[in-house]
Amino acid sequence: MFQWLNDRTGAVTGLKTFWYWTVPATKCVFRMIPAMIIFAFLLQGITGVIMWSHYSPGSQTAWESVFFLQYHIPFGWLVRGIHHYSAQLIVGLLGFYLLASIFRYSYRSPREFVFWGALVLFVLSLCSCLTGDLLAWTLPGYSATLVRVRFLQMIPYAGSLLFKLVLGNPGPEFGTYTLTRFLVLHIMVFGGGFFAFLVLWRFFDFRARKIQIAQNAANAAFAAKMNAEPDASDSECKLERPKLAYFWSGQLFFTSVACMIFMAATLGLVFQHELCDKFQEKFPGKAKAEVAANAEAADQTDVPIVDWSGLPKEARRGAVLMSPASPGTAYNAARPEWSFRAVYHYSNMFPADKKFIAIFVVLPAIGFFFFLVPILGKFKPFHYLIVLATAAFVVALVYMTWASYKHDFDDPDYLIAVAEAEDLAVRATELALRPEGIPPTGALSLMQSDPKIKGRELFVRHCATCHAFVPQPGESVYPDFMPYYPPKPAEGAEPWKAKAPNLYQPIRKQWIAGFTDKERIISDDYLGGTVFRRGSMVEYVRDTLPETMEFIDEMIADDDPDDPMYTFASAKEGLDLLNEMLHKEALRDGRRAVVDKIPAGISEKRYELFSEFGCDETGCHKFYDKGSPGGAADLTGYMSREWLVGAIANIEDPRFYGAKNDGMPVYYAEGNADSTMTVQEVELIADFLRGTWYRPERSVTVAEPVMPEPAPQEPVAEKSAEAATEPVATVPDLEPPVENPTVTVEEPAVADPVEIPVPVLEPVPLLELPDEEPLTVVEPEEPAAVTKPESPDDEPDELSDLLRGLN
């Protein structure tokens, strides 16, 4: 039976030959490299097929499919990490093999094709890394690949054609067709080509070894015939006398150890980010000091300290998935992998008009030199020149790689760009992990409709030229509200100066109270940079308000204890209650309903504070049924979402400033074809300023702000007097808008450390349960129409409202 099977198929003979397979009996590391390369390619093939089965090439599906593999497929992060880092190690192994072949003089006859095969494998491995960068469709990979592909346009005559061929669409940005082309190149052309040349490479090595053995036997026979021994000192004779051993004996052990070393190195790279994070957790001061030093060097203090801790563990395992690519968005920190760092640094040494020579002349010349090595090396003197040239090339390669990394690590702008990109990646992951998941329009649409990302971008583009967005003196940075600092002015130019109030968290009571502080109101954080610095509002706060408060204090001192007129102990406390009432307006989505001329949810005595402090006097503000419109901005629903959207859209509406507007443009007016923003963009800016964006349900330790806002301390008399008629407000009135249904605020337990949820608006006010707020679900009144004022007022000298923060 076995004889018949062997006669027909040769299977038995093949198995016996495989069982008695002999290899050179050596423990040299150089002999282990081919086994490690084959093992690495098997890893690449297995993990590549798994990833391919989950991959969907498309501008709205590529990143999403990789995200699904990274976070939802069991051990998908491990598969992707092994595939990514083993590809990088293959480049290193092949490079080391080529260098060792040159220095050991093992490229000469009969091993020329072995050397050339390894050289082709090295080039194919580099090409695989280049094409693989784009497939994840991340911002760094997209930006780096686009820069590299644009180099094709430097080629005379055929450059534009090659660029369009790679692009696959009219351009000028990458798209779905580009991904399809890169996928075919990555898998079929470079991956398939690597496999084909890997087989040829081992075949050439096998043939060269047989030729060496035959030559060794011929030399030995000739020496015996001439009654002489081969010269033992002859290095060539040493190479021609390989000792053989069975692979399935001791050689299998050394091969297994070599493969395990490769696997250990790959897994070390897979877990490097997680290990670094644990190190930084153990030594947090060092990491923050480095970030602070980089920020100080760049003259910026808005460098984000990236927090990956709230994301699943898959976020820092394997190859970190950055934010999805956004065509047209520049990423100044895009860099190639380590294997191309020297080329990147070298090409930047040339001016733009000389880069063609650096990339398409010098680099091919270097490649051609290494191709000629087996031919030139046949002559012994040339071998020494080749070794010297190769050594010089290696030294230059190492130096340029080191110089590239050092330049980036010493460049604060680069480090800041990297930190911002990582912060963007954290945000993209948070949005993609929402219970609703990723919409059919892709993850990029989530980011483009996110107030934290897009709202900030629109604020910087349209508002940051006049408004600051930084903590006021004495305040600390809130965890969720990263400040924005304008770029450094050019040499000789005047430094940037705010022309309008600072809008850092304008719905806080601390911010609102600044308009009734005689020192803060004339600072650059409020009206100091506007024409209203000398207006009636400042005059009122600095002159009239102190007199009013003094009068109220006198009235309180003469008040009848049995029948008090005021329910607060001092005018200062009353002013605090007035600011608290406006603060509660800012936490709402819109205005309140009015019942019997009193806004629902506000007690009558609290409502009267608006008149007690003279805010509804002639020419001043309107607040629901108090005051008259036209004198100053209407404070009905002040700083609520509906109010803020209307103010940003059309500040010249009579409800706000009308003709008294101090230079703020009209961004959107219904029916106005010259509008520079859409309603959705205005809403994104408003939500960004209010801090109403999606936050995952996780608890983190946050520092208390330097200027905490205490809850208003109302006298017991006021509470007891109103207890019978005023139901206690409950949390729904203080909840954030419906856009963020998953955000919750809980009373933190008194413990060390204090663990509280990430603040939606500010740590303290959201935890207050004021007595005057009844649980009433009301529909907001119809907002005022956004129209142009019919007749402008003469001068902006009337009592201005607290919205000067938007002008």
Q: What is the DSSP string of 492-554?
A: TSPPP--SS---SSTTSHHHHHGGG-TTGGGSTTTTTTSGGGGSHHHHIIIIIHHHHHHHHHH
DSSP E strand boundaries for 295-398: none
23 backbone dihedrals φ, ψ, rounded to 5°: -135, 165
Contact 664, 807 (CB under 8 A): yes
Q: Is the pTM of this model over 0.85?
A: no
Nearest Cα residue to 127 out of 325, 301, 337: 337
Give yes or no for a contact between 267 and 43, defined as CB atoms under 8 angstroms apart.
Answer: no
Q: What is the DSSP string of 172-206?
A: SS--HHHHHHHHHIIIIIIIHHHHHHHHHHHHHHH
pLDDT number for residue 287: 52
- Is residue 194 within 8 A of residue 124, CB to CB? The reply is yes
Residue type (1 letter), 32: M
Cα separation, 380 vs 388, in Å, equals 13
Identify whether the C-beta of residue 440 lies closer than 8 Å to the C-beta of residue 474: no
How far apart, in whole angstroms, are the C-alpha atoms of residue 403 and residue 144? Answer: 19
Angle between helices 112-135 and 139-150 (to 10 degrees): 120
Neighbours of 265 (CB within 10 A): 16
pLDDT in tens, 81-121: 999 999 999 999 999 999 999 999 989 888 999 999 999 99
∠ CA 780-782-786, nearest 5°, is 130
Instruction: Report the chain's mean pLDDT, rounded to a whole number.
Output: 79
Q: Tell me the mean pLDDT per 10 residues along the chain, length 807.
A: 74 72 66 90 96 94 96 95 96 95 90 94 95 94 90 86 82 86 94 96 88 74 65 45 63 84 95 85 60 50 72 92 88 89 91 88 94 90 93 96 93 87 93 92 93 93 92 83 83 84 92 91 90 86 89 84 78 91 92 89 87 76 82 87 93 84 86 86 94 75 35 37 34 36 38 39 36 42 42 37 39
Predicted pLDDT at 729: 34
